[in-house]
Amino acid sequence: MSRDIIATDKAPAAIGPYSQAVRTGNTVYFSGQIPLDPATGTMIEGDIAAQTRRVFDNLKAVAEAAGGSLEKIVRIGIYVTNLGHFATVNEIMEQYFKAPYPARSTIEVSALPKVADVEVDAIMVLD
């Protein structure tokens, strides 16, 4: 099994021993994206809506670096520190994804790296 590492400077560099994404065959597995500014590597300022937009922008950049797009994503996992943000995250997601939507889970967690309020990982299948 071959593995191709996906990396782009249009998304934040990994903050640990992992890759932004890994492609094997026609499937791409994304590491979790948090609301880091790719230019500075620092957390953006703003509410859950701003953070969620940054996360999906980062996800989009990695998808494009892998030769795909958000439309090719078949599953996402959303992790939030407050499930009360569920409706806002849904509103922002609808700005990035169109029906039919990818499969998804949304899980409340006690904490995320860099004190982020939201993190998203994904799986994409290319033609």
Domain at 106, CATH number:
3.30.1330.40
Buried (b) or exposed (e) across 40-63, using 16+ Cβ within 10 A?
eeebbeeebeebbbbbbbbbbbbb
Query: For residue 106, what pLDDT is reported?
Result: 98
Query: For residue 1, what pLDDT is reported?
Result: 78
Rg of the chain taking only CA atoms, in angstroms? 14
Percent of the chain exceeding pLDDT 90 equals: 98
Residues in CB range of 58: below 8 A, 6 or more apart:
11, 12, 33, 35, 36, 38
Total domains present in the chain: 1
Residue 124 scores a pLDDT above 90: yes
Confidence of residue 61 (pLDDT cuts 50, 70, 90): very high
Q: Which range of residues forms the domain containing residue 91?
A: 4-125
Residue 112 scores a pLDDT above 90: yes
Q: 3-state DSSP call for residue 71? A: helix
Q: pTM score, two decimals?
A: 0.96
What stretch of H or E contains 51? helix 48-65
| pLDDT mean across residues, the chain | 97
Query: For residue 10, what pLDDT is reported?
Result: 97
